[in-house]
Amino acid sequence: MRRSAAWCHWRAYETRHGVIRAELSLPEDSPRRMPVPGAGVLRPVWDVGHRTSTGDTAFAIASLWVEGRDALEPGGHATIRLAPLTPSLWARLRPGQRFTMHERRPVAGTATVLEVRPAAVDCTGKHLAGE
């Protein structure tokens, strides 16, 4: 029941902020030695293409949900859903675009965007997130 409740909260977030789905691959030589938990508890940083004024990577934070699994093992791959801390930083993502997951050096995983759907709107066209 705990996972079902977490999934309901996750879907409510997606309704308000939109859906981002991607295929995530974790290299076998990844710095991550433990499986990635599947129910939205991990909040790694991601390089989605933003840069600071000095040209350094400006990371974005997003929780991840592994679809259809309790966890993703190092060396494995799975479809994931992302819940960005700051959704506007993710607005430029498009299907086919690649980006990387970071927990420390080197890269912890590589993702390819499968789907991006905007936030739901009500019958007046107003975003449900109140934006």
Taking the CA atoms of residue 38, residue 39, residue 40 and residue 45 in that order, the dihedral angle to the nearest 10 degrees is -10
Q: Examine residue 29 and state whether it is found in any structural domain, yes or no.
A: yes
**Which residues form the domain of 105?**
2-117
pLDDT in tens, 3-15: 889 999 999 999 9
66: domain CATH number is 2.40.30.10
Report the predicted TM-score, pTM, of the whole model to 2 decimal places: 0.86
Q: Examine residue 128 and state whether it is found in any structural domain, yes or no.
A: no
The structural domain count of the chain equals 1
Q: Examine residue 36 and state whether it is found in any structural domain, yes or no.
A: yes
Helices (H) and strands (E) in the chain, counts: 1, 8
Rounded mean pLDDT of 55-72? Answer: 95
Rounded mean pLDDT of 114-126? Answer: 76
Give yes or no for residue 1 having a pLDDT over 80: no
Q: Which of 54, 58, 113, 57 is nearest to 80 (CA)?
A: 113
Q: What is the C-alpha separation between 35 and 120, in angstroms, rounded?
A: 32
Q: Examine residue 26 and state whether it is found in any structural domain, yes or no.
A: yes
Query: What is the model's pLDDT at position 129?
Result: 56
Q: Examine residue 130 and state whether it is found in any structural domain, yes or no.
A: no
Quote the radius of gyration of the chain (alpha carbons, Å): 15
Quickly state the pLDDT bin for 131 (edges 50, 70, 90): very low
